[in-house]
């Protein structure tokens, strides 16, 4: 099996954005160290809107420094054989710095909240913000907050940007809130498929390929354990990022009393699920496993669990790869 370990490289979008140091730079450095130790590549879906927005504040020394440190890290990631892919959170269009803090406005959280011609310009200018740093175009895409529907306007923008691979969909995924809107309940349960106008529909002659995030069904007991671990041992289980999530409270409570659809992930205590998900994916005979995580959500526990998981997976004959060479 080919295993892809991917990270959405970004700040938080809740009340507090957190700092570039704690949410991005420090945890990504630790991830790079793990990758170097095992000689494996990871994939970083870089929030290009954040980079683009930072360039607007180049006259503010603190933001200029953040931009430069991120640019240096991205170049190091490329030199280390990691893949830099395009991740788009368009709410950066409406977010500003006030009193030395990001005032994140998620009223227009997804590309579907913008007009079609705006979508094209956002995708192209954000992609350019990455190319300006790495000197290389991105070949893979992941929608911010999984919001890739409707795909029509995004399709045009990706084609114009030479991007033909997406990794947003996860089997049975569904969320409808003020900010989020996605419905993957009709997506196929496959390791990869071609598509054209809808990433959930297989179309053999499609211009795109979907490499979905590997699904996981999580029992309520897991969330009770997560909650207790965070309370009893925050030094080990609390994520390293210093911001706050954009939360949907109703959805969180549901996790405690019924099994819920999630995906392979090494954020915080979710890293404890990596081995069981790998074993189940092996049994299903799938050719790939895609893990989706965030540097900001890694905890001391999850760095160790990821390290161990790589050893475990290699011993079972699996290998680690970028999505596109």
Helices (DSSP H) in the chain: which residue ranges? 20, 26-38, 48-56, 61-79, 116-134, 152-160, 220-232, 234-237, 249-254, 274-283, 300-315
- 144 vs 243, beta carbon nearer Zn ion: 144
How far apart, in whole angstroms, are the C-alpha atoms of residue 314 and residue 294?
A: 22
Which among 10, 129, 134 has a CA at the least distance from the CA of 73? 134
Give, as ranges, the residues between 221 and 250 that touch Zn ion (CB under 5 A).
none
Q: Which residue is nearest to Zn ion (CB)?
A: 8
How far apart, in whole angstroms, are the C-alpha atoms of residue 110 and residue 38?
A: 36
- 58 vs 178, beta carbon nearer Zn ion: 178
How far apart are CB 133 and Zn ion at their closest, in Å? 18
Binding span for Zn ion by CB under 5 A among 6-14, 73-81, 130-138, 184-192: 6-14
Number of neighbours of residue 27 by Cβ within 10 angstroms: 25
Q: Does 83 bind Zn ion (CB under 5 A)?
A: no
Q: Does 267 bind Zn ion (CB under 5 A)?
A: no
How far apart are CB 8 and Zn ion at their closest, in Å? 4
- 262 vs 318, beta carbon nearer Zn ion: 262
How far apart, in whole angstroms, are the C-alpha atoms of residue 269 and residue 227?
A: 9
- 294 vs 318, beta carbon nearer Zn ion: 294
Q: At what angle do helices 61-79 and 116-134 cross, to 10 degrees?
A: 70
Spell out the residues 6+ positions from residue 184 whose beta carbon is closer than 8 angstroms to its own: 146, 169, 170, 171, 172, 173, 174, 200
- 10 vs 166, beta carbon nearer Zn ion: 10
Asked if residue 150 has a cis previous peptide bond (ω within 30° of 0), the answer is: yes
Binding mask 135-174 for Zn ion (x = CB under 5 A): ---------x------------------------------
Binding span for Zn ion by CB under 5 A among 9-17, 160-168, 219-227, 261-269: 9-17
Q: Does 8 bind Zn ion (CB under 5 A)?
A: yes
Spacing of C-alpha 234 from chain mean position: 23
Binding span for Zn ion by CB under 5 A among 10-18, 152-160, 188-196, 204-212: 10-18
How far apart are CB 114 and Zn ion at their closest, in Å? 17
Binding mask 189-218 for Zn ion (x = CB under 5 A): ------------------------------
Binding interface with Zn ion (CB under 5 A): 8, 10, 144
């Amino acid at each position: 099996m080919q295993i892809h370990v991917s990270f959405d490289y970004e700040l938080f979008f809740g009340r507090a954005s957190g700092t570039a140091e704690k949410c991005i730079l420090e945890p990504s450095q630790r991830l790079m160290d793990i990758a170097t130790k095992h000689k494996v590549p990871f994939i970083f879906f870089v929030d290009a809107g954040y980079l683009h927005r930072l360039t607007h504040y180049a006259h503010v020394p603190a933001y200029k420094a953040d931009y430069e440190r991120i640019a240096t890290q991205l170049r190091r990631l490329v030199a280390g054989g990691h893949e830099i892919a395009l991740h788009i959170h368009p709410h950066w269009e409406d977010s500003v710095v006030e009193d030395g803090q990001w005032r994140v406005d998620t009223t227009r959280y997804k590309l579907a909240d913008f007009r079609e011609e705006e979508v094209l310009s956002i995708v192209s200018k954000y992609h350019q913000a990455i190319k300006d740093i790495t000197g290389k175009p991105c070949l893979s895409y992941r929608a911010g907050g999984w919001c890739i529907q409707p795909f029509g306007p995004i399709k045009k923008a990706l084609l114009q940007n030479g991007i033909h691979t997406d990794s947003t969909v996860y089997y049975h995924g569904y969320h409808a809130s003020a900010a989020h809107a996605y419905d993957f309940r009709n997506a196929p349960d496959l390791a990869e498929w071609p598509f054209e106008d809808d990433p959930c529909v297989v179309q053999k002659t499609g211009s795109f390929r979907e490499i979905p995030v590997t699904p996981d069904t999580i029992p309520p007991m897991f969330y009770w354990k997560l909650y207790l671990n965070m309370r009893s041992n925050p030094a080990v289980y609390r994520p390293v990022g210093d911001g706050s999530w954009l939360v949907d409270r109703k959805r969180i409570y549901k996790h405690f009393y019924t099994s819920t659809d999630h995906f392979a992930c090494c954020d915080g205590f979710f890293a404890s699920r990596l081995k069981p998900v790998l074993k189940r994916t092996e049994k299903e005979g799938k050719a790939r496993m895609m893990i989706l995580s965030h540097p900001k959500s890694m905890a001391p526990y999850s760095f160790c669990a990821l390290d161990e998981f790589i050893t475990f997976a290699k011993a079972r004959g699996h290998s680690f790869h970028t999505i596109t060479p």
